[in-house]
Structure 1
Amino acid sequence: MTATSPTGCVSDRDAIERFLEMMAAQAGAARNTLAAYRTDLRLASGLLDGRLAIADAAALGELAASWSALSRASVARKAAALRRFFAFLVEEGDRTDDPSPALPRPGSERGLPRTLSHDDVDRLFAAVAERLRREPALAPDLRLSALLELLYGSGLRASELVGLPRGAVQADKPFLILRGKGGRERLVPLSDRARAAVAAWRAHVPTDQAFLFPSGKTHLSRVRLFQIVRAIAAEAGIAPDRISPHVLRHAFATHLLEGGADLRALQSMLGHADIATTEIYTHVDRSRLVELVNERHPLREALVDAGARAS
């Protein structure tokens, strides 16, 4: 049994290799970890006749049944690898759904995704500003500024960011139109800061270049983007293992939600087909949720008035 992906022709081999590349670049996975992921994913693909990337919940249930003789730790490892794999496919736009809830959870629940505090983000951009004070500003620093403004300011995926065409960002348009792998378009807002940063960087990009962030004959790789982000984080005093392009995207979503952004609008900006993905991806501290209820619940004034009369 299979689920239809946006493209309808996702190759297991290609999807697994792209996933492993992401794990190496963004998550900093060790060689042994990558080898274990590769083995588990290829075995699962073999058991599903090369249709792992488009498997549905029923197929994953059958796959999990084949693990019945394995130890609890082995099942937990295999299930964790598949969950990360399917989350990656959804994030990249290869699928519109995530069937991984059908997998067993013999271990503890996965923790909340990593994110950055507002202070972390302030320190990060302060480090960029310090670089830009040089006269004249260096091209690599202008590129760095544009990359970070788009990552945190618009919540772009790493693959979307590095693949932007040279003319994707226009000075007179406060938005960016992105087309996902399934052909779905979404509107992404652009701040004045982001447009200014891109304009300053684009002046250093030859007009015959196809990409906004060129590198050799193609565009900047996700691996190189990951390295750039970690380098500026170290300058800002942020532990490198706490940050990645994906963490900046998550910070974008989390901070917007904390500020009162509508979940449906956020779903659209992030490019999630299912709002359930947005709810998982954009966690908010419980204390903040309580604060929002106390401040914005429609019955708040009535409760305050009743309390005043009672006193």
Structure 2
Amino acid sequence: MYQEQIMWQSYLKGFKAYLRLERSLSENSIAAYLNDLNKLEQFYFSIDREPKITEISKEDLRQFISWLHDLGMQATTQARVISGIKAFCTYLLLENIIEIDPSALLEAPKIARKLPDTLNIYEINSLIDAIDASKPEGMRNKVIIEVLYGCGLRVSELTDLKISNLFSQIEFIKVLGKGNKERLIPIGGVAIKLLTIYLDEVRVHLSVKKGNEDYVFLNRFGAKLSRISIFNLIKQLALKAGIKKTISPHTLRHSFATHLIEGGADLRAVQEMLGHSSITTTEIYTHLDRDYLREVVTQYHPRS
């Protein structure tokens, strides 16, 4: 058993390097993949079997998926775990550790596409109004909301945003998205104005921790803001603003896309700004304006 655990950890180490170097995945994505494989290891221990990677079978993986289901795991999480297992099997094939992919015929559970929550412009303004401008971090927090909503950034793209990637004169910022893909995003006048004030009048007075000099958003200790601090900020502001929806930083990204589509923006342009690899992902936002569609039917259909 001890020898098998050593081999398991060795393969995981190689898989981690493969994800980082060949797939160019972020550290968060890599951690998620490794966590999925830890679940597979737990499954083998639960049935009192050694996790021998070279002997993983299709039937083992089917039982594993049933085990996840019995644990009460949602279909979306099951699908993500299966994706991680398939990626691992691809790596094992490439390294000639296995000759046949046991995950080839493994099917993910069907997932109903859920429309994301969005905020209207009044709710976004109420979030901003809920910020206490008298506090030292007030201006920073205001800029965070404006940039999340004004540029449609993922939370990691916001925390990793660098001063050297701000091009205020041409009203663009450069971000590093999923798969380490860079993209340029237009940034509106309000966000640029507040960002400039924050950098010139607030951030300049912070004692910046070594290694954090180029990051835009810093905490009171002069270090780069964490993802969790942005989540907590949004939840606190939503509570203070009386917004009953369950929201997160991603809600502002959804709102950015939805409001552009509602305003008549080209789908391909929105795809480019969001950094979606497939336009299918972006198309979900074309279904969000349900109130408008209902109004059209009510106003123009003879049977309404």
Partner amino acid, structure 1, of 2:129: A
Q: What's the offset of the Cα at 1:126?
A: 3.1
The answer to whether structure 1 residue 267 and structure 2 residue 275 are counterparts is: no
Partner amino acid, structure 2, of 1:168: N
- Correspondences of 1:63-212 after superposition (within 5 Å): 65-67=62-64, 73-74=69-70, 77=73, 79-83=75-79, 102-105=107-110, 109-128=112-131, 131-132=132-133, 138-203=135-200, 204-206=202-204, 209-212=213-216
In structure 2, the residue matched to 1:243 is 247
Specify every segment of 5 or more residues in structure 1 that has no aligned partner in the other structure, as ranges: 21-37, 52-58, 89-98, 296-311
Verify the 8 A CA contact 1:115 1:248 in the aligned structure 2: yes
In structure 2, the residue matched to 1:304 is none
List per-residue Cα deviations over 1:195-235 (Å, max 9, x = no partner).
Answer: 01111111222386221112346410000111111122222
Q: What's the offset of the Cα at 1:85?
A: 6.7
CA separation of 1:229 and 1:46: change in aligned 2, threshold 3 A: same
Q: Distance in 2 between matches of 1:62 and 1:141?
A: 56
Partner amino acid, structure 1, of 2:188: S
Partner amino acid, structure 1, of 2:39: L
Q: What's the offset of the Cα at 1:10?
A: 6.4
Q: Distance in 2 between matches of 1:110 and 1:81?
A: 14
Q: What's the offset of the Cα at 1:63?
A: 7.7
Partner amino acid, structure 1, of 2:70: S
Secondary structure, in 3 states, of the residue corresponding to 1:182?
helix
Verify the 8 A CA contact 2:40 2:64 in the aligned structure 1: no
Verify the 8 A CA contact 1:211 1:219 in the aligned structure 2: yes
Partner amino acid, structure 1, of 2:225: L
State the number of aligned residues: 248
- Correspondences of 1:46-65 after superposition (within 5 Å): 65=62
Verify the 8 A CA contact 1:233 1:243 in the aligned structure 2: yes
Partner amino acid, structure 2, of 1:80: T
Q: What's the offset of the Cα at 1:153?
A: 0.8
In structure 2, the residue matched to 1:222 is 227
Q: What's the offset of the Cα at 1:185?
A: 2.3
Q: What's the offset of the Cα at 1:247?
A: 1.0
Partner amino acid, structure 1, of 2:127: L
Q: Distance in 2 between matches of 1:195 and 1:273?
A: 27
CA separation of 1:109 and 1:176: change in aligned 2, threshold 3 A: same
Q: Distance in 2 between matches of 1:242 and 1:8?
A: 37
Q: Distance in 2 between matches of 1:43 and 1:218?
A: 34
Q: Distance in 2 between matches of 1:146 and 1:77?
A: 37
Specify every segment of 5 or more residues in structure 2 that has no aligned partner in the other structure, as ranges: 1-14, 44-50, 85-103, 300-304
Q: What's the offset of the Cα at 1:261?
A: 1.2
In structure 1, the residue matched to 2:239 is 234
List per-residue Cα deviations over 1:90-140 (Å, max 9, x = no partner).
Answer: xxxxxxxxx9x94123xx735322222333223223334xx44x5xxx431
Secondary structure, in 3 states, of the residue corresponding to 2:109?
coil
Q: Distance in 2 between matches of 1:14 and 1:248?
A: 21
The answer to whether structure 1 residue 8 and structure 2 residue 22 are counterparts is: yes
List per-residue Cα deviations over 1:268-305 (Å, max 9, x = no partner).
Answer: 0000111111123664134535778999xxxxxxxxxx
**Larger RCO: Structure 1 or Structure 2 (Cα < 8 Å, ≥ 6 residues apart)?**
1
CA separation of 1:246 and 1:85: change in aligned 2, threshold 3 A: farther
Q: Distance in 1 between matches of 2:257 and 2:266?
A: 11
Partner amino acid, structure 1, of 2:108: L
TM-score (norm 1): 0.63
The answer to whether structure 1 residue 278 and structure 2 residue 285 are counterparts is: no
Larger Rg: 2
List per-residue Cα deviations over 1:48-88 (Å, max 9, x = no partner).
Answer: x999xxxxxxx9x98863457559x5387263214467999
Partner amino acid, structure 2, of 1:245: P
